[in-house]
Structure formats: structure tokens, C-alpha cells
Structure 1
């Protein structure tokens, strides 16, 4: 449905047209009636209409001046003029402003106006359809172009070519890469799964957008070939007759391109230069090593520009310090010491970085630490852990850099520490211990202060003061804290709807549950489920 406004300083005209024209039947929503061009512009400029029906002669800003302003912010705006002026100069100005109909008020006929509106609605609909079809065509054209480039890249990597045949094959696909030397560059999208979740875009769409941004920035100053290799890897070949001279300029351009990706997509990329090559065979050898040896990227800082070099990984025993690592991490979690936990993990990460252990050994060590901690925690909590064992292996296995592994490990262990803190019972008063044990084992039931006090044969006011003094929080806050912890587990693992979880946890009012969850987590349950 199109939107429209009426603009005329003659109130009876506005009233008559707003009531006499069957706007909805014509596929039009009348969103405003104004008595001057200035009023219409000031009130509707942030949400410009598709159609404007206006007079010309109005105080402060006439209809033609107003149309000119709307056309500047929304060029496709269409208009019908209702005027007392039959002078040629006004009609001439109206034509320049894409006015669909110029109707004299003295001969105004409602059917004539309706017919004019029908014509405009049809024209706008047709224009929108053509525009949509053009966008689809361009998108398909772009996708076909991308597919051709990807095929050429795969052919380069996995087929044998002499240089002339390779250049000719590229040229036949519209790719110009004739040069004495080539400087290969691998672009790796940092943490693509996280970027996909935060941006709510598929990993394919993100890689497509990164490729387009980098190509637009780099092609301004360099001759190059660029193509995606996977949903998180993009290959660039810079054409260069003088590599030693061009390196600095290329480095500077890569910095600008990476900054553009950060600015427009709010994500970072790591850029890895390979050895210069003179032939398809050398290009193939270099790129195959860069793409195959992902372990070589493990120690690269995020969002940096690096040179690909094969690392000789340490032969030392990574478990030599495991006992002390487990002891300090276990204490930090048990005592819910977030600051110390971060410090100890950072120190371990720095030690791993200095030793350069193989990434597989580092991940195996992390998984052993998590399994040992979880075994002890599971006995303590008698409750599901933050992440199932199978998923842990999958998540840790997919992490590609030490920096990412550190961030993820801190986040996971802090969540584990919070959970232990929530479920641990610190009071020495038997009444409080019994109350906490009851809530932990009956978290899905409706639990009130009065009911709990009755179970303990205590006065409700006395029990409330006792619980607050012993735990530093009131009883209902404690109940809600455990229920919300359970809600997070269910949102992550059960597939239940928000309404089902609310009812399952004993909340009669879903809105109250959502309000509590948002106050605690800073987002609604549905948003939390989508985020995780």
C-alpha cells in the first residue's frame, strides 16, 4: 500500500478530499493532512510519502517549493497538483517535478482525481516491480561472477597450467591478471560463527560482503584478482611487476580495506601475506600451504597483518604445569574470583604462546581441564552443566586462534563459577540450608515466602529477616535467581518456547517472567535464545 498526504490551505478542500476519496480501495494510506507546504515538509520529511496531493499557492512555502524538497530526499515521490493557477509557467515547473496530473480546482471532479490516483498507483507499482527485478538480476549477475572467480581459483589450486594458458583462461572469464609477479594474500574472517550470530547474517553473506568491500577499496589502486575460497577465507592475488617497490603500498591499502570492513560490517579480518610467485605453479604451492596449514595461524593476533611462516612447534610436555594450573583455576571457580581467574588464564596463555605448542595439544589440554572441572562440579551441583561434553569438544575444536581460545575459556569458566556460586549453600543456620535445598530441588514449582516459612514452622517475617541476614539477599530474589538460571539452561538446550518455560518454572504470568529475565540478563528470553 502506498502512502499519501494532502496539502492545501483551504480547509474545506482538505476535509472534502480526505472523506470523498476511497483511499484504501485505491491501495493508498492517507497519513497526513496539512495546511501549508512548510507544515507538510516539517512534519513529513523524516517519513516522506509516496504520493502528494497539493495546492500551489500557500503561505510560507508554496506547493512547488515543497515538492522540490520532498523530491530531493525521495526522488521517486509522485504528485498531483490541485490549483487555481492555469498559467503555463506553473504547469512547466510541475512537469519538471514529475507531477502526474495538474488539475484546476474550478473543474475538479472526484472521479478525475480517483483516475489520476489509480494511474499513479499503477505506475509506482510497475516501477517498484522493475526496480526489484533489476536488483534480483544484478544480484544473480554478481553471484554468477563470484562463481566464475571461485571456479578459476579452484582450477588454479588443483590443476597444472603453464603461465600463458593460465592467463588466457582467466581472460576468457573476464579476469585480467597478466603480470611478471604475483603477491598472494589470504584474508581470514575472524570468528565467523560469532559474527554471523551478532550480525544475524549467514556466514556466506558475510564473506560475500567482506569480499565486495575489500575489492572496492583495493581495486582503486591495484591490479588484482580476488575470490572467496570458503565462508571464512578470501584469496587475493596482487599483480606486480616490481614486488619490492609495491609491498609498502599494498600493505597500506590492506590496512585501509580491513578498516573499511570493520567500519561497515563491525567485524575484523586477519590478513596473511604469502611468498611472491612468478607462475601458476608457484602460486598453487604457496596458496595450498597457506590454506592447508591452519595451525600456523593459531598464534596470530586477531585483526592483524602477518606473513605466512611455518612454525616449528614445541616438543616440550604441555602437561608439565597442568597440576598447578588446575589447582589455581579450581580455587578461582570455587571462590567465584573473576579477576584472579582472568589473570591465571592470561598467564597460562602467555606461557603457551612462548612455548609454541601445537594447537591440537593446546586444545586437548583445555578439554582435559574442562572435563576435570566439570566432573567435580557435576557432583556438587546435581544439575546440568553449562555445555554438554559433546558440544564442548566441537566448540573447542572449531576455535582457530589462541586469542579466541583464551576469550572463550574465560567466558565459559566465569559462567561455571557463577553457577556454582548460585547453587552453593554458605549459611550455617539449618533453617536457611533447608530452604535453599528445597528451592534447588523444587525449582520448577511455585515457591512463596509464606509457603516456605510454613514448611519450616517459622513466622514469615522472621524467616524473611533470617534469610536476608544469612545470605545477603531476600528469599524471593534467591528463588528467582535459581529459576532464571534454569530458564537459561532450558533456552539453550530444551527447544521449549518462552511460554512453556515460564509455565514449567511455576510463573503464572508470562509477562512477569519476561520482565524478570530482561532485568537480570539485559535482554528478553527470545533474544537470549537467538543470541546463544
Structure 2
């Protein structure tokens, strides 16, 4: 049942409402009746009501003042006012005081019923949300950890849609991801050591999961302030925080040392770690993750089984990592296009980055570019990636030509068949078509490359390369052209529209910027184009 308090200085009106309200909606009961605003405030000292139905003109205290006083007392209080036609200005003032609705006198039963049902629907929604909120607060710690882990992963993967859906949940559940200062700690198996010990590449996921579970169990037993999840490569990722900046950095090193010892005891395997610089807001998580990943790449140029901070990665090493990723991207394109020359050039460039051209380094770098290929697009099934990784293990020479031969052999497992290449071309056309459809449907909204890529479930880099390949222009140029073509169409169909009105309809904010881009594309300003339409 829902309770309503009636406030009116006319007894006849009160009697009428007492009779009419339960008949119009049985879910409502009369909680009380008062003859003026002062009585109503006194009534609220010891009672409560879901709804207050009050007249505006009353002695002692007007309904308008009552609305203001009740709103200050409880901003969520539902109030409906009763007003005569000559009191409409008062009713407008009451609406500004967050009054839910108003009824004109004489009261229409139809309108009364509609208002009661509207307020009831609003109350039902609020109660459901309140119940959901308390349920969230009572959720188990495991449930909260799962939600926090999903949110952190969405942040580091720049998954805008999931971040937007999970952030309100994190807030309502009062999950504090960072207390004071934080760091990202990335733990990763030294897979070159694992393969060197004779373990099959297909078994690597088992050991990655073992690392994740050992880390999770250790941090829980030690009651450390941390959140644990997996990144896209199934490395174990921790978000640590503490009020003391030195303490959180010490904690990251301590966790690495303890988990590293546990992995040695349970599996005889070593792990490496990369740790980010300090972050003070969870919205910095993506940048912090990139720092930790770059730090982890230090093992490519130094040694495995070590703990790397961002301070230890010089600008020279960072430049080499950037170049390495560029070569992996080139290799990815060369493999899919079956371009043997480009493939050999990419592999040679990777080999040139090997610090000492040793067997261990060759295996470590080889595994890096295989994992990079697996991450860049879902182009290869796991068994072929595993076969490529296993082929690298047979390299027992530090000779550059021998390393090149083994890299070429490993890459051969990833060459697409003619049928796969035809299917890929068809798939790429389909991906671009999906992107084009989304852009044409949503050109009036902010549509970044990352957002469109997320909508059609591909990586931004991959989508960008497809636009160049299939359409011969960049993503940004395509979106600009689509918006400008729609602007021309709108001008033709609606000659009376002002430029600023058109700007809002095609995804621009600034008239000046819109006019500049329009002239760059069509050689005339929007105003000149409108004049030419009138002349025609």
C-alpha cells in the first residue's frame, strides 16, 4: 500500500478526496488529513507519507511554503498540488520546488487516477532500485572482487561500453579501487624457460592460470589491499594501493618475490614482473597498464626472472620496444597478404633488435612476436600458434642466418591457405561494411575509431588498417566526408535552417570548425553553398 497525506483548508475537498482516492486506485490509503501547512508539518513529526496532496491557497501557511519546507526536509518527498485556474502562476512556482505534478480544481477523477498511477509507478521504480542497491551492498566479497576485476580489465582494454556500464555499479557498491596512491603490477611466466624445459606450448595456458591462482590466494591470505585479474595475454595483473607511496611500491616488489618463490616451489618455473609508476585515480589505469607492460618488456633486452620498474627502462629501450611492435604489425600484414618479401624484411628487422643474438634471446623474441600476432587479430587458431611456438624451440644456434631460418619456419605455420585468404577478404569486407553502417547511422554522435571498433568486436588498429586497405582513406577522413555529405543533404532538404542548427545535426560543436572543414572539402563555405542552392 501507498500512503497519501491530504492538505486543504476546505473540509468538503478533504472529504471528497478521502472517498475518491481509494476508489480510483485501491493501492492508495489515506494516511491523514490536515487543514493547513502548519498542521501538515506537525503531522510529519511523528508520521510519514509516500505522497502529499496539498492545496496552494491556505491560511497560516500556503501550500507553496509547505512544498519548500517539505522539500528541504526530504528532497525525495513526492508532492502533488491542487490549484484553481487563477492560481496557475503559483502552480508554476511549485513545480520549480520539485513538485511531481498538479491537479486543477474542480478535480477530475480521470486526472486524479492518472496522477496517482504515475506517482505509484515512480515509487515502485525507486523501491526496486533501493532494493537492488541494498542487495549490491550485501553482495559477497567474491562477487565484488569479480566486478572490480571486470572493471579493471575493461579499463586497460579501453572497452568504453563496459566501463560505462560497470562504473555506476562500482560506485553504488562503494568499491574503492585505489586508496591513496596505486601501482599496476604485471606478472608473467618466462615462457622461453618453460618451453626450454620441454613443456609443450599447448600446456602454457595451464601454467598461466596457476600463476593467477597462486597470486590470488597469496594476496587474500596476506590480506593485502589489491585487486587481481588477467590481461588479454593471460598475464596476471594486480592493482595495488596504499596511503603511503613508498609502501605501495615496496608491496609490489614483495608480492613479486613471494609469488615468484611459490611458482618455483610448485612448478619449477620463473616469472618476470613489470610495475608502473604511481597512479592516483582509477581512470589512469590504462596508462599505468601500458607502463607496466613496457617495463615487463625489459626482460627481452636484459634477463628473464626479474622485476622491472619504469625507471629501469631507458628511452633507448622504449624506442626499441616501439620499433619491435611496429615490426610485429608489419609481419602480421605480410602473413595475411602472403607477401614473402615483406615477411622476410619484418623478421630480419626483429632479429636486428636482439641484444646478443643468443639462442635464448631468439626464443624470447620469437615468442613475443607470436603473442603479438595472436593479440592483434583473431586470425589464427591456437593450435597453429602453438605449432609456431614449438618450432622456435628447435633453434640451437646463435647464428643470424639460422635464427632467420627458424623464424621463417615458425611463421610458415601462420600462412593462410587460399581458401582462408578468400574467407578473410570476405570477412574484411563485412567488417568495413559494419563500420560504414554504424557511422552512417550515428554520424551525429561522437564516434571515435575505438568506439566503432568495440561495437564490431575488432581492434582499433586492425579497423584502421582495413579502412586504408578497403576504402583507400583513413577512418577520420571517411567520417568527415560522411558528415559533410549529410550536411549538404540537410541543406538541400531544409533550406531555412541556420548553420548552427545543421552543425548540431552532423556531430560538430563549433560552427567555425564545421565551416572550415566544409570549405576544405567542397571549396565553398556553408553559407555560400546555401546561396547557390537558392540561386538554382
TM-score, length basis structure 1:
0.31
TM-score, length basis structure 2:
0.31
